[in-house]
Amino acid sequence: MKLQVALDRISLEEAINLALKLDGNVDIIEIGTSLIKDYGNKAIEKIKAVTLKSQLLVDSKTIDEGAYEFKQAFKHGADIVTVMGAASVQTLSACYEVAQQHGGTMMIDLLNLNHEQIAEIDNFSEAIYLLHHSVDTNETVQAVTEIAEFQKLHEHIEHIAIAGGIDYDTTEELALQGVVEAVVVGSKIIKSENIIETAKKFMEVLKV
């Protein structure tokens, strides 16, 4: 299981400094949607320049013009790029094709989709499917239960990630469950007193 750390709602300078510290100490560094909206492709380039060991994920939340947005993200240094599961099948297919062409990975954000809708887009074999809850709704996530239900309903989806309210205990439970490919952690690491030590503790927990 991999640890993905989200850099969000901070200045580009802060994000670069954090990426420099986190590089090699976590598996995936995520450039959050707010950074992309605030600073554009410049954010990808500058953070990529200091991210030499960890993978770089661009949370573009693409929902249209999939080929163009994915090409731009990969061109500027992304390893993984996100598309909304609510996008059209044509957009998802275009994003997937571009990811394949660039040797990258497409992550499908399943925010606000039900299982019937997910079943209609579950044929992208190399994509990562992200179970994701809205920040605005303040939902309580029962991650282990949710993952178990998801796997039961979507048996052939091989690559699953989860985001939202992930702490040490949840990470350990998910690691023991052995289904999730990546957990996404944001403020629990970024707002901690010692970011590197907290990240390392998460890494230790998920490698059980």
pLDDT string in tens for the chain (208-residue length): 999 999 999 999 999 999 999 999 999 999 999 999 999 999 999 999 999 999 999 999 999 999 999 999 999 999 999 999 999 999 999 999 999 999 999 999 999 999 999 999 999 999 999 998 766 655 666 899 999 999 999 999 999 999 988 999 999 999 999 999 999 999 899 999 999 999 999 999 987 6
How far is Cα 82 from Cα 70, in angstroms, rounded to an integer?
Answer: 9
How many structural domains are present in the chain? 1
pTM of the model as a whole: 0.95
CATH number, residue 16: 3.20.20.70
Contact present, 65 and 87 (Cβ < 8 Å): no
Return left, alpha or beta for 107; rule: phi > 0 is left, psi -120 to 50 is alpha, else beta: beta
